[in-house]
Structure 1
Amino acid sequence: MRFVAKALIVSLTLTAGVAANIAIAKDGVQDPTVKARMELMDTIGMNTKILGDMAGGKAAFDASAAEAAKAALVAAAADIPAKFEVEADDPVSEARPDIWMNTEGFIEDAKGLETAAGAIDVASVEGIQAGMGAIGGACKACHSDFRAKK
């Protein structure tokens, strides 16, 4: 299996898992700061899914929808450091305390997503396919270090 295909499968799997977990977790959230973070991650998951569905052939390529998803993904990724600036917790939060113990590493991972999202070429399906591995990799890197396993 080609690298691009493997990367696409990984990123689509991550996206589906993130979207499902966020949707379930937001129902019981109490802390408004944590809820805002979860909503931001929901935005990231939703827009990654739009691009992933196009890349995987689950949705028809739509240049304007791809551009809008890319723009939303870049903006949301850029907002991650600000949303996690204040240490807050909630019983349903999946954020690990490591975020605030290794802020530099967390911000570096967030910037990795912003860079990957900004670099994706959404002018064609092939461009989206080529860029999804980097987006999935950026999500995985951060989640491996800073997201609790629930």
Structure 2
Amino acid sequence: MKTVIFALIALGVATMAFAHGGVKNPAVLARMENMKAISDQMKGLAAMAKEERPFDAAQIVRSLEQISADAARIPALFQAPETDPKSEALPAIWQEFDRFENLSADLSVAVTEVGAPENLTDLRSAVQQIGVTCKACHDPFRD
């Protein structure tokens, strides 16, 4: 399961890097940049969890705070059903906006629940928990 979560994070980062090129709608670009910011923070946490980067408790806290702040912005960024050919947002977001909004709130809750991981085991668990929360929203609402 851990390998799957780490692979999904890496795939999400790679996909977002290519997706931003040529986006013409500023609302869609703002959404994509917010999601990329979350992905970038998760990528850093995953690198620490896989011991590709040194464990840094202060950076972990900063990353989690940033993820929480970016997660709180998600509903407002998606309020209007803006589109762009490069967008991966599915129409289901606006058809089931309450569910979408609840899932974005779940991300903030997951970040709060993991607290401040103090060791590698806790960090790995935190990355997995947050990754599962991300996947729960990506599966129904992202192409």
TM-score (norm 1): 0.90
Instruction: Measure how far apart 1:10 and its partner are.
Output: 2.1
In structure 2, C-alpha distance between the alignment counterparts of 1:142 and 1:27, rounded to whole Å:
23
After superposition, residues 23-38 of structure 1 pair within 5 angstroms as: 23-38=17-32
In structure 2, the partner of 1:145 is: 140
1:134 aligns with 2:129: yes
The whole-number CA distance in structure 1 between the counterparts of 2:138 and 2:58 is 29
Q: Is 2:39 the counterpart of 1:45?
A: yes
> Counterpart of 1:3?
none
Q: Which one-letter code corresponds to 2:134 in the other structure?
A: C
Query: Which secondary structure state, in structure 2, belongs to the residue aligned with residue 94 of structure 1?
Result: coil
Gaps of 5+ in 2: none
Structure 1 residue runs of 5 or longer lacking an equivalent are 1-5
Q: How far is the alpha carbon of 1:22 from its aligned partner?
A: 0.8
How many angstroms does 1:43 deviate by? 0.5
**CA deviations over 1:79-100 (Å, ceiling 9, x no partner):** 1111101110000000001000
- C-alpha displacement of 1:54: 0.9
SS at match of 2:89: coil
For residue 123 of structure 1, report the CA deviation from its aligned partner: 2.4
Q: CA RMSD in A?
A: 1.0
Q: What SS is found at the alignment partner of 2:51?
A: coil
Q: TM-score, normalised by structure 2?
A: 0.94
Residues 75-86 of structure 1: pairs in structure 2 closer than 5 A: 75-86=69-80
CA deviation map 1:55-89 (0-9, x unaligned): 11111101111111111011111111111011100
The letter of the residue matching 1:136 is G
How many residue pairs get matched? 142
- Alignment match of 1:99 (pick from 75, 93, 100): 93
Q: Which runs of 4+ in 1 moved over 4 A?
A: none
Q: 2:124 matched to 1:122?
A: no
Equivalent in 53, 56, 62 of residue 62 of structure 1:
56
Secondary structure, in 3 states, of the residue corresponding to 1:112? helix
Mapped partners of 1:64, 1:71: distance in 2: 11
Aligned to 1:73: 67
